[in-house]
Structures are given as structure tokens and as C-alpha cells.
Amino acid sequence: MKNNPPFRKLQGFAFDPITSLDLDTADINRITYKVPWEDLQPGPEGKYIRVIDRDPASNAIYKPVDLNAPHILATDGLTPSEANPQFHQQMVYAVVMTTIKNFEKALGRQVTWSPAEKIVEGKKVYEYVDKLLVYPHALREQNAYYSPDRKALLFGYYNATPANASLCLPGGIVYGCLSHDIVAHETTHALLDGMYSRFMETTHPDVPAFHEGFADLVALLQHFMYPEIVRNQIRKVRGDLDSETLLSQLAVEFGLSTGDYGALRSGIGRYNGKEWVRYAPNTTDYDTVMECHSRGSLLVAAVFDAFLAIYKNRTADLLRIATGGTGVLPQGELHPDLVNRLAQEACKSASHVLNMCIRALDYCPPVDINFGDYLRALITADKELVADDDQNYRVAFINAFRKRGIFPEGVPNLSVETLCYQTVPDTAYKDWFNEHTGEFLREFKGQLSYVTDRKKIFDITAAFIRGDKEKNIKGLHSYLFDTDGRAVNHTVMENLTGLVFSDQYKDLGIGQSRTYKKGPAIEIHSLRIHSRTGPDGNLQNQIIMTLAQRCRVAAIKNGGTATFAPIPTGKKAPNDADSFTFRGGCTLILNLDNLSLQHAISKPIFDPAALTQRGTRKLRLNTRRLQMQYRCGYGDLMDDMGFAPNYQDQVEPLACIHNLKNKNNDW
Amino acid sequence: MTGNVDNIKIRMYNTGSVGDCILLLFCKDTDISFSMLIDCGGIKTSADAINPCVSDIAATCKHQLDLLIVTHQHEDHISGFNLARALFDQITVKETWMSWVEDPTDPIAGVVKDKFGKRLRQLQEQTERAQAHLQRYAKQTSDALGFGKRYAQHQASLDAIKEQLEFEAGDTASDRGARAANGTPAPTAKNAAAKTARAATAAASTVTKGLTNNDAMEYVRKKGRTIAYRLPGEVIKNLPGAEGIKFYILGPPRDPDLSFLKIEMDTDEMYQLALGTVPTPVPPTQRLTASGITLRPQSSPFDAGHQLSGKEEAAFWRQYGSDEMKWRQIELDWVGTGDVSLALTRFVNNTSLAMALEFEDSGRVVLLPADAQSGNWMSWHKPDVSDTLKTNGGKDTNELLAATVFYKVGHHGSHNGTASHSGLDLVTSPSLVAFMPLVQDKVPLAWGGAANFPAEQLYGALIEKTKGRVVRTDVGLIDDPRAQRLRGLLPAADINAFTNAFRKGSCYVEYTINGK
């Protein structure tokens, strides 16, 4: 076996080319990305991504860089240069891989891209996508996006049009693919889509905002991976990360080159035209800010605030030691040792926060996420892995969200205990999740144990979901339906998941299962193994299963609101009504060690509150969620959110919401 | 009738949509001595909506207009001449004014039209290339995944652009009919160019009753007994019946290099961003160096040495061009020139004939900028405009703005239709009244929809400047709480004067400006 080095070192910009033009930051902007070693083809093309440098607007193809060439290996990759497209390929590879690795580290498993939807012989099938394609010079506009259709990242380049020439060269060419933040942002979109493809649907103002905010968040926190940068910035602001630093800003060059006086977005503050001001959190923000980027910024600001609180908490003792107990820093430069220690703490806090944020994704509902759900996911995920929160991370998060008016629905008060998803009592699930089902899932885990090939993992998972006669695998669906084709334990399952299992599915416009002709269609989106070791050495041995269900609904306008009626399969919506797909979904977290169902995190398709317990169990559609989806797609929120209705039907959904600065000066 | 004009009644008509239709009645005592109409149109409006306005105009001016002005060639300013053609046929016009840009014999207009034509041609070629690219691509490819949807979207957007460009080129309806009948292809870039040289700049709009904007312009051109093409810097006085009134021509800027015409929104002049910006930018023409590389179509920003060629390129295409890869290609994403054609439309706004009227007796000024955008406003301060006004026996631009008592709000209240530093900031009269030709719920989506009109910052500034005396076509005197509060603070004499001068008619709002 070959003895490969652990890392491939690649030079690159820490932020973007413009940061090299500032004397204070010129030194630190060139960093060396340490990407886990993998065999690479020219492109670069590795296990996860393939960079294709086709530039259709110039009708050109740029020579692919071979990162294994001796002269490139010997110098830690090509020297940063805007004029060399091969360096662009190297930079984009380094940043995408860094982002992927951060996800894998936090999730404890290999990431996959969302499967490609294909129609084969009239049937919808989901095909495995091995590699994300990355096009560094795909567009000539101030834009970059992830294309969920093509599983590709497209980056643009354009002539700069700054507000004045001191900010950046007017007319100079700016490349999106050279900005760490833009690349990390788009990669995060792709990774998120790989986990939850339904987060592309606008069912709540928070859903697109979550996509945007989360992508910004990852880009921001990745700034703290490089101690030399953090040291430099901490020295500059004398340890006070609350003030303006490069670390808290996103896409500086993009902002300056498109007419802004500062970065495109920022975690903690921005220029109001004259000076830099710190954002002041406001409890009405959550109810009033609807445009998806601004709303996403609320999430970023909340998490960044939590991070700062954690950093301050962790460094309070250092400051006291350094100042003889007063905690008040003297004038002038800080001692280099203190800078060093502060930087260490900042890096450590950021890495913890980034891990928490990514880990929380496993605890999110598969559809219709809102910020409150995410806060609960954050707290639950962390509590489960880290029992003893001695640094009060969770309190820091709750506080930061509370200050922005982000309260999860249906919790009696705000505390770690109430925000944490409750453990499901075993009486509620034993009829379904028992030795029988448990054995099947243990078998699944056993088969995956020593598989590292992502395609094989995908295939095995698909076989266990759908069943595979050749391999003698029954398929998870057979644990939901009996031999008659009826759902088993339907009341239990309905109460657990918020999805419809009983015969009432016909009344609610839910389709019939293709295989089990007497039961409703239930989609199993994913089945993921989850084994992680916490800081206390505790091992988590879980399986995460996401289920979803959909129905067609007609909305009949009624003043400012609407009333909803399910459209039975095969029927058409009334002519004067808007019709759309409405989904429910549920994430089940199953513990394989003691065969317990830990959490059922659900977005019910029916209204659990309207269930009458007396005799008849008449299910009704979840009007509360429907109403919100209607407002986003057809009602009053449509314009506020900043994109066209039915944006999930748009060809490039993220392109149109990213294209926020498309002024044209090409005259 | 002898003596000077005593007052001017200004009627702003509601044409059923966003648009300008403004009748000015110059009165000596109570008799109308001179009547003048500026523009008549509305976005996607109907004959039913506009006929009552034109009937009222005809009745009021007794079927005779002394002066007809068409400020620029956009649907929202001229569609009335198509829709209410029968009524206009019964009105005689003594004299017509248009801007120098519309003058077929003006050499600089020729240059501007030529440049505009070139740009238009360039766009048409780009669109045609993109379309050819799209068709070639569609032929090669099967119904690979996701491609059909993408193709349809690109096709639709290209079609829309093409249509818009055809209108900008001044294609007439009869042309289209003939083409369809003979099955001949759309005009190639070459004959489109010839057409642009002749035809004026038209707007992106729908055809009204088969008549295009171009037809409306030709109709107006022949409507008056005489026609004059006005130049910035001109001061016209002693028109028969309008004694005591000076007509000032401020724009459009007469610059063959398009330096001012091109400025559609100068961030520094916009009310939207005015708060955030301090320094005055140097106009591109006055910069000492021109820097930066401009991206040219089909040319790469990198050295040719970086590109694949020959065998390597062929190998790339075998892989990237293969059927399995079709659904993941990015060949089409860069195609799309929609915003560029929008810029073209804004350019036409900048060719607006911008004017001011002054009462010689009192020095009061009425400001009528049509749809002038930033560049047009800025050009009024150029010495060859401002100083020329002075030499021609009038006030200079700063003095005119300072004395403005009535302002017809530019471009329906858009964020770049009223300049700040070179416009409204210089208006200091305490008795300013503003009329905004806006029907808010008819603002087309292409302009940003009702939410962007009137631009909030500008609206605030106008309310502040006029102390609440802002009148809109759709609502009349505005009932915005800020305006109500400020009106409440006015001295009783002022508010009485305003109330007496303001009137709301069946299809118009009217204000009488006292000239004495």
C-alpha cells in the first residue's frame, strides 16, 4: 500500500485578491490550505468534485491544472495569481474541499450530493451523483450559484464598478471563484441540498433564509481555521472581536467592486455610508425582516453573537491574568503571547461553534425548517453529545436567538431543558420500533460498517429503503405496511410522525403507495448512520431516518387569506383556485444500542391539535402551515421575500435569488 | 389681448395608467391666451381611459393648441396619439416642439442615433447569436434531464428581448404584417441599422391598435403647422399669446460621445442613496486615465496560452460534449441580455426634452423635466447650457431651480428621475408645489412594481420641500401623514392660497400658478 502524505498543501487567498492590496492584510492573505490527501486527476478531479474550466462566454477551455506535477507539488501549489486560470482551479478546489471536510468532521460520515432526479420509462428514479461539478468561469455576471438541477457550482466574473476608484480598480475583472467566502457559501448550498433537498421549497420565509444564512455562517466561521489570520486581526483590534475585523466580513471584494463601501455581508455590523456600525439586535427583527438574505443575516448574526459570547467567556480569565486581575487592557499593542493565546481560544471557539451548527443539521425536520426548529436542533444535538455544558455554549445560543425575537413554536419557556426535543416515551413507539425493526436496522448498520466507497453506501442504503430481492433485503417500506398493503400500527405511526398512515389519506389528497396498494405513499428520504464520540468519550450509535409525504391542495382566495381543500388523486383543481403541493415530514432518531426512539422531529401534514380524541379520528390538513406556505407563494409575503413565486419551479432557484446586484453598466 | 400672462393653469390628466399628459393654459385675466400640451400617453392604457382626457383637452382649448410638445419617444408619453387619434385629428396645432435628438437633419443627433443604433445592432446580433447557439445546442441534445425546462426559459427570455429590441428599432406594424404575409425573415442586423438611422428611438412597449410608438412620433411630427427641434440653452420669449413667459430648454444634453445621456442613475444623484454618499464623482469624460479591461464578447480575460487547443480540446469535447454530460453542461447560463435592453430604454428617458417656464413679472419658475434621469439633470449645469441661458437673456440653471415654485416630478417619481445635488437640493422657494404623474397600481413590474413608486427617499424629500403640497394623478392631494402634519403647520394665508389654486376635475388635477 502506498504511503500517502496526510495533506496536500495548496497556496491560496485567505479572503479574496483585494485583501492583498491592503498593507495591513497583505501578509496574511496568502495562506496555505491543508486539504486531506486524495488521488487527483488534472482538473483537479478527486473523489468529491471535478473542476471543469469551460468558459462559454469566451468560447474557451482553460488547461486543467495537474496538482500532482512535481513543480507544483514542490511549491505547495501554484502561486496565487489572478492572471492564471490554473490557479483559479486550484483555489476553488482547496476551498470546496476544506468546506466538505468540515462537514464530514462534524457529521462523522461521508457527505453525498443530492441524487439526480431522472425519468426512466415513465418512472421517477433518483440516481447517484458521484461528483459535484465546479465551473470557475461559467458566467459573465456578478453572480455565482449552486445549480440543484445539474449538481454544479457556477461562478461568474465581471468588470468592477466600484463607488469610487479608491475602493477598487474600476473596470478591473473580479473573479467570484477567487473569493473564499463565495466558494464556501456555494459549496454549503450544495452540501445542504445533499442532506435536505426540500429546503429548496419556499414554504416559510425561514426556509430560503436558512439556506442563505447557513451558507454565510459556514464561510464566516471558516475564517477562524487559520491561526495566523486570527492572530493578525486580534492584534489589530486588541482582542476585541466585537469590532470591525476581516474575520466577521463576507465577500469584501464582491461588495467593493459592485458599488458598496464595505463587504457584501457581515456577521456583526456594516457601513452605513459614513462609518462602521455594530448591528444592534432587535426583538422585532424576526417578524419584520423578510427578504431572504437579510433574514438569513439574522441567523448569521445570532450564531456569531453566540460565538462572541463564548469567546469572551473563554478568554475572561486570560485577560485577568494578563492585567493583574483588573481585566482592563492597557493602551498600545498587546503582548504577543497574549495575542497568541486569545487567537487560540478564538479558533477553538469557532471550531466548536461550526461543529455544533453542522451537527445540528441531523436534528432538523426534512421539510419546512424555521429558525426556531434550528435552535432546538442545535441545543438537542449538543446536549446529546456533550452532556456537561461547562462553558455554557447552549445558554449563549439561546440568548443570541432570543435577542432577535427568534422563539421556537410551542415551547413553554426558553431554557436548555425545554428547547431540547423530548425523548419519546417507549409506549409511543414500541408497537413499531421493536426487536423486529431493530434487527433490520442493525443489519443495515452492519453492512455499512466497513464500506468507504460513497457509491456503495448509496446503493446499500437504497436497497434497504426499497428492498432488493436478489440480496434478500426486504426494504424498510415492508416494515410500514402489512402483506395486505395496509399500513401497520397506523395510529401509532401517525402520532409519531405527523404523516397519514390510515385510510384517510384518500380524503386528504395524498397519493397511493405504488407497491402497497391499500396504503398511502410515504417517501423515505434518507437513512443515515450516525456514530459519533463526544468529548467525554461517550459513543452515539444512532440511525436517522427521514420520512415525507405530500398532497395536492387547492387554495380558494378569501380576502387576504385563503381556505384550503385537498385535491383527490386524479382530480383537477377548481379553475379559480391556486393549487400547490403541500408536504409533511419527520426526522426519526433511533438509538440502536437500546432500541429506543429518541426523537421524532415532525412537521405534520395534518393538524395534530384538531384531532378529536372521541371515537372518530378525523384528520384535517395542517392549516397553520398551509396558510404560511400560501402567504409565501401567493400571498402578502411573496414580494417581501425577494424572489418570484414558486421559486422552486424556477430553472435555477438560487441564481435568481443570488442575482441581487445585477446592475448593468455595460454601456 | 395685450399685456403679460397673469397666470398659468396646469392640468395633469389621468390617462388610466402611469403616463404624462399635461395641459398648460396661459391666462390673461380669465381668458385663455395660449394653450400648450406636453405629451399624452400611459403604459398599456386603453382608448376608453384616454379619450375623456383628450375630449376635455379639445373642449378646453377650443380644438386649437398653440403648442404641442412631445418630450421623448416612450409609450407612457405618446400612446395617446395612437389611441385617441380620431379626437386629435379634430385638434389643430400651431407649432410642435421636440428635442434636437429627434431632428433628422441634426448632425449630432445623427451621431447619437448612430451610436444608439450601433448598440442596438450589437444587442440584436448578440441576441441572434445567442439564439443560434441555443438552436444548435437544442439540435445536438436529446431531452436530457432538466434541459427542456432550461431551454424553454432561455428561449422565452430571448424572445422577450428580441421583441423589445424590435420596438427600440422602431419597427412599424405594417412592416410586421408584410413580413408575416411574405414569410420573409425578420430584418437582419444590416437593414435594422438602416431603419434605426431613419427611425427614432422607440420604447419597449406593446403595440396599440397596431400602431407603434414610431407611428405616434410621425403623426406628431406632421401635426403642427411648423415644427421646431429645441436645443439646450435656448430661451424663447414673446410667443404670441404667451407674452411675459420665457421658455427655457435645459435638456437633453447635446453630447456626441453620449457621456451624459448614458448616465441613467448616478448614485450620487439618487434619492435612494443620497444619504450614504459624500464626494462628487468625476464624470468619466473628465477622468485623466481610463483604467480597467472591458470584457469583450468571445474574448477571454486570460492569455491565449492558457487555453486548450487541438487534440486536447477535441478530447475535452468528447467527454464534456458527450450525451451523459449534456444535462450538466453550462453552455447556456451566460446567455441572456435582458438588463442591457432595459438600459437602452432608460437611455431613451435621458433624451427627454427638459424645460422650464418663467414669469418675467415675478421670476417664478415652472420646472418640467419629463422623464429626465440623472445624466440629463446633471448636464443642465454644464457651462454651455447654464451660461448660454444667461447670454440668451434668461436666468442660469441655478437661478431657475432656486426660483422654481411648481415642479412636475420627473419620471413618475422614480428613484433616479429627480436629481438631488443638481436638482431638488437647489430648489429653495418656500411655496413649492409638486405634481407627480403617477398611478401607483399601474406601475409595470419591469420598473419594479408599485412598491418602488414613488421612491421612498424622494417622496420624503418632496414632502419636506413642499411642506406637504404634493399632488398625485391617482390620489390628488396626498394624505400621507407626514404631508398632513406639514400642511397643518403652514400659515393660514399659505394654505388658503393653495386651496384656492388647487382643483380636482373629472379626469385631471389642476393648479393655478399666479405670475404676478
- Please give the pLDDT value at position B298: 63
If one counts every other C-beta atom within 10 angstroms of the C-beta of residue B471, the result is 23
SS (H, E, C) A404-445: CCCCCCCCCCCCHHHHCCCCCCHHHCCCCCCHHHHHHHHHHH
User: Is A640's pLDDT higher than 70?
Assistant: no
Q: What is the pLDDT of residue A371?
A: 95
Residue B173 has pLDDT above 60, yes or no: no
Residue B327: predicted pLDDT: 80
All structural domains of chain A: 1-194 (3.10.170), 196-421 (1.10.390.10), 426-621 (no CATH)
d(CA B61, CA A142): 53
Question: Alpha carbon of A255 to those of A174, A188, A263, B231, B289: distances in Å?
Answer: 11, 20, 5, 41, 24
Which band of pLDDT confidence, cut at 50, 70 and 90, is reported for residue A334?
very high
Between CA A95 and CA A124 the distance in angstroms is: 34
User: Distance between the two ends of chain A, CA-based, in angstroms?
Assistant: 60
- pLDDT value of position B96: 95
Q: Are B234 and B418 in contact (CB under 8 A)?
A: no
Which chain B residues are closer than 8 Å to A54 by Cβ? Answer: 316, 320, 330
Q: Kindly state the average pLDDT of the residues A161-188.
A: 86
Do residue B291 and residue A170 have CB atoms under 8 angstroms apart? yes
Q: B417 vs A416, B237, B420, B432, B454, CA distance in Å?
A: 54, 28, 10, 18, 10
- Per the DSSP assignment, residues forming a β-bridge with A531 are A541
Does residue B507 carry a pLDDT above 80?
A: yes
DSSP B297: T
Q: What is the pLDDT of residue B496?
A: 92
Q: Does A636 touch chain B (CB under 8 A)?
A: no
Which residues 204-263 on chain A approach chain B with CB closer than 8 angstroms?
A: 259, 261
Give the separation between CA A239 and CA A329, rounded to whole angstroms.
9
pLDDT digits (tens, 9 = 90+) for A339-390: 999 999 999 999 999 999 999 999 999 999 999 999 999 999 999 888 888 8
All cell numbers assigned to B171: 419597427
**Cis? peptide before B454, omega within 30° of 0:** yes
Nearest CA in chain A to B452: A639
Q: How far is A615 from chain B (nearest CA, A)?
A: 48
The residue of chain B with its CA nearest to that of A173 is B293
Q: Do B153 and A173 touch (CB under 8 A)?
A: no
Q: How do strand B64-69 and strand B92-99 relate by DSSP bridges?
A: parallel
Q: Which three cell numbers stand for residue A307?
A: 460565538
CA–CA gap between residue B236 and residue B334 (Å, rounded): 51
What is the average pLDDT across B171-178? 37
Kindly indicate the confidence band of residue A410, based on its pLDDT and cuts at 50, 70 and 90: confident
Rounded to whole angstroms, how far apart are CA atoms A177 and A165?
A: 23
pLDDT at B153 over 90: no
Query: Which of B16, B8, B54, B12 minimizes the C-alpha distance to B35?
Result: B8
B306–A85 CB contact, under 8 Å: yes
CA distance A164 to B287: 12
- In angstroms, the Cα distances linking A161 to A165, A666, B207, B293, B338 are 9, 10, 36, 12, 19
Tell me the backbone φ, ψ of residue A626, rounded to 5 degrees.
-60, -45
Q: What's the whole-number average pLDDT of chain A?
A: 86
The residues near B478 (Cβ < 8 Å, ≥ 6 apart) are: B463, B468, B470, B471, B472
| Residue A362 DSSP label | G
User: How do residues B8-55 score in pLDDT, each as one tens digit?
Assistant: 999 999 999 899 999 999 999 889 999 999 999 988 888 999 999 999
Q: Nearest CB to B146: which of A52, A150, A666?
A: A150
- Taking the CA of residue A144 and the nearest CA in chain B, the distance in Å comes to 11
Any B CB within 8 A of A117 CB: yes
Handedness of CA A157, A158, A162, A167 (dihedral sign): positive
The one-character DSSP state at B325 is G
Q: Three cell numbers at A599?
A: 426523537
Nearest chain A residue to B332, by CA: A56
Q: Which amino acid is at A440?
A: F
- Length of chain A as a residue count: 667
Q: Categorize the per-residue pLDDT at B276 as very low, low, confident or very high, splitting at 50, 70 and 90.
A: very low
Q: Report CB contact under 8 Å: A164, B294.
A: no
Tens of pLDDT, residue by residue over A424-473, are 888 888 888 888 888 899 899 889 888 889 999 999 999 999 888 888 88
Report the first-to-last Cα separation within chain B, whole angstroms: 17
Q: What is the DSSP letter of B411?
A: G
Residues of B with CB below 8 A from A259's CB?
Answer: 267
Nearest residue in A to B309, CA atom: A61
> Cα distance from A255 to chain B (closest Cα, Å)?
15
Q: Please indicate whether, in this complex, the C-beta atoms of B293 and A173 are within 8 angstroms of each other.
A: yes
Q: Nearest 5°: CA angle at A344, between A352 and A34? A: 75
Could B347 and A116 be called an inter-chain contact, meaning their C-beta atoms sit closer than 8 Å? no
Residue A71 has pLDDT above 90, yes or no: yes
Contact between A566 and A509 under an 8 Å Cβ cutoff? The reply is yes
pLDDT of residue A48: 96
The predicted structure's pLDDT at residue B441: 87
- A158 and chain B in contact, CB less than 8 A: yes
Spell out which residues of chain B touch residue A655, defining contact as CB-CB under 8 Å. 333
Q: Dihedral of CA A114/A117/A120/A121: which sign?
A: positive
CA distance B74 to chain A (A): 20
User: Residue A162 above 80 pLDDT?
Assistant: no
B/e letters for A67-76, b = 16+ CB within 10 Å, e = fewer, are: beeeebeeee
Q: Which pLDDT score, from 0 to 100, does residue A449 have?
A: 83
pLDDT tens digits along A269-326:
877 667 778 888 888 888 888 878 888 889 999 999 999 999 999 999 999 999 999 9
- List CB contacts (< 8 A) between B275 and chain A: 273
What are the tens digits of pLDDT across the range A561-573? 788 888 887 777 7
In the prediction, which pLDDT does A464 show? 92
- Whether the CB-CB separation of A522 and A498 falls below 8 Å is answered with no
> Which residues does chain B have within 8 Å of residue A171's beta carbon, measured at their own beta carbons?
290-294
A-chain residue closest to B279, CA distance? A164
pTM score, whole prediction? 0.71
Q: What pLDDT score does B126 carry? A: 66
More confident residue, A205 or B174: A205
Q: Which residues pair with A92 in a beta bridge?
A: none
- What is the pLDDT, as a whole number, of residue A92? 97
Percent of chain A with pLDDT over 70: 93
Which value does ipTM take for this structure?
0.85
Among the partner-chain residues B308, B328, B333, the one whose CB lies closest to the CB of A62 is: B308
Chain A positions touching B141 (Cβ under 8 A) are: none
> In chain A, which residues have their Cβ closer than 8 Å to the Cβ of B161?
none
Is it the case that residue B201 has pLDDT exceeding 50? no
With both helix axes pointing from N to C terminus, report the angle between A336-359 and A371-385 in degrees, rounded to the nearest 10. 110
Q: Specify the DSSP element, H or E, that contains B340.
A: helix B338-350
Chain A residues 344-383 within an 8 A CB cutoff of chain B: none
Where are the extended beta strands (E) located within A491-636? 523-533, 539-558, 561-566, 578-591, 596-603
| pLDDT attached to residue B336 | 52
Count of Cβ atoms closer than 10 Å to residue A562 Cβ: 20
Mean of the pLDDT values across residues B156-179?
A: 53
CB contact under 8 A, B275 and A164: no
User: Which residues are bridge partners to A587 per DSSP?
Assistant: A546, A601
Q: Across all residues in chain B, what is the average pLDDT?
A: 79
- The per-type count for chain A, helices as H runs and strands as E runs, is 19, 20
Please tell me which of the candidates B275, B300, B343 has its beta carbon nearest to residue A60.
B300
Lowest mean pLDDT segment, chosen from A291-305, A608-622, B413-427: A608-622
Answer with the residue of higher pLDDT: A579 or B78. Answer: B78
Instruction: Give the residue from chain A lying closest to B313, CA to CA.
Output: A61
Q: Which residues contact B158 (CB under 8 A, 6 or more apart)?
A: B127, B130, B131, B134, B335, B336
Task: Note whether B146 contacts A149, CB cutoff 8 Å.
Answer: yes
Instruction: Please indicate if any CB of chain B lies within 8 Å of the CB of A639.
Output: yes
% chain B with pLDDT above 70: 71
Minimum distance, in Å, between the CA of residue A256 and any CA atom of chain B? 14
Hey, are the CB atoms on A171 and B281 less than 8 Å from each other? no
Most confident region among A80-94, B304-318, B327-341 by mean pLDDT: A80-94
User: B226-246, pLDDT tens digit by residue?
Assistant: 999 999 999 999 899 999 999
Contact assignment for A60 to B150 by CB distance below 8 Å: no
Q: Angle CA(A470)–CA(A472)–CA(A474) in degrees, nearest 5?
A: 120
Question: How near does any CA of chain B get to the CA of A149, in Å?
Answer: 6
Q: What average pLDDT does range A629-655 have in this prediction?
A: 61
How far apart are the C-alpha atoms of B473 and B15, rounded to whole Å?
A: 9
Comparing alpha-carbon positions, the chain B residue that sits nearest to A175 is B301
Q: With cut-offs at 50, 70 and 90, classify the pLDDT of residue B363.
A: very high
Distance from the Cα of residue A273 to its chain's centroid: 32
Measured from the Cβ of residue B310, the count of other Cβ atoms closer than 10 Å reads 7
All residues at 6 or more sequence positions from A79 whose CB lies less than 8 Å from its CB, including other chains? A11, A87
- The nearest alpha carbon in chain B to A153 belongs to B330
A125 touches chain B (CB under 8 A): no
d(CA A597, CA B39) in angstroms, rounded, equals 74
A340-376 in b/e form (b: 16+ CB < 10 A) is bbbbbbbbebbbbbbbbbbbbbbbbbbbbbbbbbbbb
Residues contacting B465, CB < 8 A, separation 6+: B424, B427, B432, B434
Inform me whether the pLDDT recorded for B178 exceeds 60: no
> Mean pLDDT, to the nearest integer, of A532-553?
84
* Contact between B331 and A57 using a beta-carbon 8 Å cutoff: no
